[in-house]
Amino acid sequence: MNLYSLLAANFPKDDKAPCMILSDGRAWTYGDVKRASGRLANLIVALGLKPGDRVAAQVEKTPEALVLYLAALRAGMVFLPLNPAYQRHEIEYFLGDATPGLFVCRPQVSGLASELAAKAGVKQVLELDDSGRGSLIDAATPYSDRFKSVACKDADLAAILYTSGTTGRSKGAMLSHGNLIANAKTLHAYWHFQPGDVLLHMLPIFHVHGLFVACHCALLNGSAMLFETKFDVTRALKLLPQATVMMGVPTYYVRLLLDKNFGREIVCNTRLFVSGSAPLLKETFDEFKARTGHIILERYGMTEGGMFTSNPYAGERRGGTVGFALPGTKVRIVDDASNPVKSGVIGNIQVRGANVFVGYWQMPEKTLEEFTADGFFKTGDMGSWDPDGYIVISGRSKDLIITGGLNVYPREIEEMIDAMPGIDESAVIGLPHSDFGEAVTAVVVRKKVGAGGTASITETEVIAVLKAQLANFKIPKHVHFVDKLPRNTMGKVQKNLLRNAYTKT
């Protein structure tokens, strides 16, 4: 089944029922969503795209941006959401690798977008601004709002989301209609979505959490979403009394707890708080419970398959854990020899299920490498079972940094720093941060010059160069300079020693 067809089958019978309620009080009804997605689907087809072609979008969060995603599904296209913070270096790679038939961008970057699209052979570039207007909407206006959704098989691709590896080369995780349907139905049931639920949606919609987990649950339930462009404490305090469900990254809950006005009265109508995309500190879990009487439900997943585990809805939600495997998903924890580990022993987390992705775009060798012979995906995460079978995440086997719920891969940043004049080498690490979870930090060795001297490049200069090339969330918050990086006997930089050293400072 086409994912859109499943969602639409559960839309309210009354087309006037609200789907997205905006910060200015305007509401998009479910009827509006059906009609607008129909027009955009007709436009996409008229532009010459065929089922399986990619539709890339690097735009801010608006109702029109969500509708574009639904239109791509309806037309049988493959949706490629891109973080609006991405810069030239990143956009050039994504367009060249995915070769979309249509690239939708913000007007502010239309010149750059057209240049890079032409270089990548992308034929169509249209604009969607931060208020939901632009050439995309203008071009769709003359088209019929009726569109018969393209029939899809479970294995047909619905989306490609880019994730990275330690090599610095981004990988496009291919998610099928079947993958997304399986996860949406499981989460809708497991988290007990019910008639009358209202979702406070403050997440971005360029990644799994906001676009798939949050939106799919609400749409599958026919619920209204309080659709905010971003997280804001003042807005959250105002809207929470109207919401029954909130989904967020740990940073959201940390910031709510910092506000003296946040307490039980604010959340009297809310039945569920879900946290994910980064580890939730036990102290945040405990303080939230003490302050509100609510127990945050923490879950675990990743780009390559949505959600894998969740603390129970009705049973004990245990702080410091991510609960149990979701129905339909198998989770195992094994040692380096692929033997199951005992309770309390840290091992490699592997998963299998209908929600697990198809593979990496145009990387068959990498796909094969990341799956076991019996079909389990190697997540790259380390974890253990507690005595009662709850899963505890220990960290990444690779050097992934998660800051504010967003993934940062050190190698990409290191390569750019190392290429700067005056720099010999660098190591990028994540350090504990009370707000963002982890703070991106660079440790840099300057080039030697003269008799025992070093190049004069400064922290400010390093950061300025990176800001011109990378999204802001990837920029180091601090740059430390050292004479040399610690290495083991094999020459590998010992990042654990760097993390220990700078965590204490």
Could you list the residue range(s) of the whole structural domain that residue 107 is in?
1-152
Q: What is the mean pLDDT of the chain?
A: 94
pLDDT in tens, 428-454: 999 999 889 999 999 999 998 877 788
**For range 43-63, the mean pLDDT:** 98
Other C-beta atoms lying within 10 Å of the C-beta of residue 143: 17
For 208-241, give one letter per residue: b (16+ CB within 10 A) or e.
bbbbbbbbbbbbbbbbbbbbbeebeeebbbebbe
Encoded tokens for 237? 């305090």
**For range 319-326, the mean pLDDT:** 96
* Within-domain flag for 493: yes
Q: Are strands 245-248 and 198-201 parallel, antiparallel or unpaired?
A: parallel
Q: How many residues does the chain have?
A: 505
In this prediction, residue 149 has a pLDDT band, given cuts at 50, 70 and 90, of very high
* Within-domain flag for 332: no
User: Final residue of a domain: which of 112, 129, 152?
Assistant: 152
* Within-domain flag for 126: yes
Phi, psi (degrees; rounded to nearest 5) at 218: -65, -45
User: Final residue of a domain: which of 152, 177, 212?
Assistant: 152
Q: Are strands 27-29 and 18-21 parallel, antiparallel or unpaired?
A: antiparallel
At 166 the pLDDT is: 39
* Within-domain flag for 468: yes
- What's 446's domain CATH number? 3.30.300.30
**For range 106-111, the mean pLDDT:** 97
Quickly list H helices, 247-402.
250-257, 282-292, 364-369
Burial status of residue 180 (CB atoms within 10 A of its CB: 0-12, 13-18, 19 or more): buried
pLDDT at 156 over 60: yes
pLDDT in tens, 362-402: 999 999 999 999 999 999 998 999 999 999 998 777 677 88
* Within-domain flag for 61: yes
pLDDT at 164 over 80: no
* Within-domain flag for 217: no
- What's 118's domain CATH number? 3.40.50.12780
pLDDT in tens, 239-298: 999 999 999 999 899 999 999 999 999 999 999 999 998 888 888 999 999 999 999 999
Total structural domains within the chain: 2
* Within-domain flag for 386: no
Angle between helices 88-98 and 110-120 (to 10 degrees): 40
User: Final residue of a domain: which of 152, 185, 220?
Assistant: 152
Encoded tokens for 408? 């940062």
pLDDT in tens, 222-239: 999 999 999 999 999 999
pLDDT in tens, 454-469: 889 999 999 999 999 9
* Within-domain flag for 340: no
